[in-house]
Structure 1
């Protein structure tokens, strides 16, 4: 069925909506200028099911979502939050997570969606500090016990135990005043439950909600954390205009309509996923299905079958595992028409599995990292990320920062122009930026057709003792073909420092010296300059499956990783 698609679309993790169009990008995009509440209210009287949360056994109609949004918005303001306050919603694919985000928008609050699985109190404290949040809504962290987030908050602010609800005075987090727990059976001192917040609402309070018709569509709506693969996560500021037009661009160009049923196997705490999945029903009257609150739902295929889903959102790594499970269970994905692969390049193995298990599937993907690019079915998905879609532009500048033009096939720094009609609002705490072009931090090359290959992060570039660029990505591709290792990352601690290949052996019973010699021999036989030194580790540091090279460099610097 892929041959019938004129356009292919995909979304990356930082809020950009991406795709490819046969037409050149127009100078202006003629989309309505709305705020999120204005969009939601367009379906206020519709009783058709908009969203299904299978694990919760809950179906929400459009009108139900509107009424729940209003009640929670009034509740937020009733417990002392004020317009412009910032709310961190830490949760996965739960119905109340979606409603919290919509309610914040309705109340004039700024929301941020986050993974609830904070590994320690330091990372949670940093997030709350960086965003200067007045409120946190805590949902179940599925990798930990039910009270995990509350326990981390108590480590940071023991004052919570002695505080009245909504009146937290924390020495380390002076901005934070409100803590809301979504787990109803776990009540703690100084915290609201989400039910309590709902019950603070009334018809009179709903009637007194802010008049959103007076808001600018360029008003700050969301602060969203970057992945943190190349450094500590940053907070990106997004307006109503950027979020709505991003979702609208994909929905309109991809042809999503009221006949589509979208199954989501990705977390909505990634803002691009939230934008497409949670706003598309109000743009197109399609239906969305969440098989489970966890990002890798075990009951995915039963939900796809039960609700006759036509489109599946996943990523390459998750889909590879899920397709293998379906293969052993002899499941045919006959109802699916499209699979949208988001956030990763795709391996050849996954492409073969897709064709084997779901013959009528068109597939899409993008490289993680604020890049509004995409490829169609003729693209080499194992290498390229595609071309800019209508509404965005891409440009390469020389690595040395000069004003020369980057030649076709040569490396350059990738710049992206934000959505037409808007400016990049910046990173928190400064959210008043006016730049139209954003430095993505990626190094890329462009072919004669305009397709872009992202090869590395600028932070990960390696220069040898002669100040020559080492194309470490080619070294990694070569060494990763060795059957004795599961993975390799080539890094350096700085200019002129030794080029280091950090490897994960496939077997725990390996001879390091012999494996090192074999890898060096492999480099010589393929006419590559071998790394100066080697190291072997059990695994690489990661965030959401993405390898963090900056942490590998830090571990080498501190001596946590030994080289030879």
Structure 2
């Protein structure tokens, strides 16, 4: 009997007791044991000239057999550059065809692919590069209007703290000046041409590919959690291929589907829910722009005749608003998939009516679980589609626990723990944080603590009732309050800071902060605080609302527990009250 079967038997209710919240996904279809390299070659042979990816903004498309060949060239170029099994390869770029080619090339030879958030400041990128020990960095010259020249200069200035980084590959037609002598800079086209080297014959690549196992790390995804310390989830070939497969199955994807994917490739939404779901089903995926732009999404749906559209709620809202001008009538979309933050019933209704989508599905999960563990289905009732995040995914375990880790009955809220094949291998070189986030029970079953308060209803659907973690989710992007607090308190005038999430109609949540002035220090204006945070962190982490301890309505002290911790629920209530008062005054 397997560990999962043992766990399932032990958690079944005894006669007369309310049914346990423990649930287990279907196991009828076996999990894939392939590596991504295996899958690339299989799909190349199976689909040949069928288009795999389309990048309208680059006027570029790639067939399945071309992806197989291009990924071989990238893999050989990496070998020529001296990379070995287990060496990490990083990327900071928009949704471009080079992103996919580099990802697949690294996968072939067992090099974990590290994806960096496009909003990273130069300091954040340098820190993440050091943590992940990248040997090669693929770097765009710009993402949308944002130039990455400051990031290049930060790497040059910190080259001594990045001893592992040996080469930067520029994804650009525009060269960024690089006086650094420690890090070689090469263009993407020149790097790919190195794959034609006579020294990189087929035998070298085959030997490298044979070393790769499906339990090897395929992708490192940074997730700050609530501590603010950068942690990288180690996600394996087995994790990501199978998660992409079951997501596509629940969407009922086929080779005839064309998926429009605005979410970024640096996030599991773009890379797994998007690309790997399409790739495992021989579908075509369309990336409308390098970073989200609603008009380009609308044009891509119309021009590419897309049948599926992905997005976080703020993306759908922007697309609906943009279409008020464009007036597209879509007749090809059959399903939309929303994830990343809560989706309101009113938004679901607007997506269906104003974008012509028959069904809107919801996916739930976290980076550390590859990411999706619950998802609604095309055959779910309207009530379940609107009020839940669906049923558990195949080969996945879940339970609701109390503060002691004891399993609760169905219908009772508590913390959601998940288990099964999709769990991360752990945090990259961080055993302490791995042990904090994951538990192995007495039956040898490994569980991920989600930090979300949920319940499992009588029909096995998951309902999110709150969030145990203090994490702020702004438009689908996770923000660590502690990281923003640290940046704020670096300011010479700020003695103490507490950062909270404030409800927002557009983004779901935005950053709010309560600040205490240093004795005798001049009080900075709000614009100064905004610029201070933006200079050290990504722009999405900048506070929208700033409150000062001692101001009318705020109070003269932070509300704190007996142990000295900020009582954030009280501060959220204060912020809500003050903003309501502001709105009322504005209307009078």
TM-score when normalising by structure 2: 0.69
Q: Does 1:182 align with 2:171?
A: yes
2:416 to 410, 414, 417: 414
1:392 to 382, 385, 396: 396
1:271 to 268, 272, 278: 268
Aligned to 1:374: 375
Q: Does 1:240 align with 2:237?
A: yes
In structure 2, relative to structure 1, the CA distance for the partners of 1:358 and 1:254 (3 Å cut) is same
Alignment gaps of 5+ in structure 2:
1-22, 472-499, 517-542, 556-568, 580-588
1:193 to 177, 187, 194: 187
Secondary structure class of the residue paired with 1:294 = coil
Aligned to 2:112: 110
Aligned to 1:440: 450
Conserved 8 A contact 1:248-1:283: yes
In structure 2, relative to structure 1, the CA distance for the partners of 1:453 and 1:227 (3 Å cut) is farther
Conserved 8 A contact 1:344-1:368: no
Cα distance, 1:234 vs structure 2: 1.9
Q: Higher relative contact order by CA 8 Å / sep ≥ 6: 1 or 2?
A: 1
In structure 2, relative to structure 1, the CA distance for the partners of 1:327 and 1:348 (3 Å cut) is farther
RMSD between superposed Cα atoms in Å:
3.7
Aligned to 1:288: 285
Cα distance, 1:280 vs structure 2: 4.0
What is the aligned length? Answer: 457
Alignment gaps of 5+ in structure 1:
1-22, 158-169, 462-475, 494-502, 517-528, 540-564
Conserved 8 A contact 1:311-1:337: yes
Conserved 8 A contact 1:327-1:357: no
In structure 2, relative to structure 1, the CA distance for the partners of 1:153 and 1:450 (3 Å cut) is same
Aligned to 1:166: none
Matched ranges for 1:121-140 at <5 A? 121=123, 123-139=124-140, 140=142
Secondary structure class of the residue paired with 1:395 = strand
Aligned to 2:297: 300
Alignment partners' CA distance in 2, 1:277 and 1:115: 17
Cα distance, 1:256 vs structure 2: 1.0
In structure 2, relative to structure 1, the CA distance for the partners of 1:24 and 1:372 (3 Å cut) is closer
TM-score when normalising by structure 1: 0.72
Cα distance, 1:437 vs structure 2: 1.3
How far does the alpha carbon of each residue in 1:181-200 deviate from its partner, in whole angstroms, 9 at most, with x for none? 21232152431222221121
Secondary structure class of the residue paired with 2:363 = coil
In structure 2, relative to structure 1, the CA distance for the partners of 1:280 and 1:440 (3 Å cut) is closer
How far does the alpha carbon of each residue in 1:58-77 deviate from its partner, in whole angstroms, 9 at most, with x for none? 11111211111111111111
Conserved 8 A contact 2:255-2:283: yes
Alignment partners' CA distance in 1, 2:125 and 2:39: 32
Aligned to 1:254: 251
How far does the alpha carbon of each residue in 1:443-465 deviate from its partner, in whole angstroms, 9 at most, with x for none? 2233333332333443439xxxx
In structure 2, relative to structure 1, the CA distance for the partners of 1:154 and 1:345 (3 Å cut) is same
Cα distance, 1:40 vs structure 2: 0.6
Cα distance, 1:34 vs structure 2: 0.4
Secondary structure class of the residue paired with 2:215 = coil
1:340 to 333, 337, 350: 337
Aligned to 1:68: 70
Aligned to 2:59: 57
Secondary structure class of the residue paired with 2:163 = coil
Conserved 8 A contact 1:264-1:290: yes
Aligned to 2:205: 209
Cα distance, 1:94 vs structure 2: 0.4
Q: Does 1:32 align with 2:25?
A: no
Conserved 8 A contact 2:408-2:414: yes
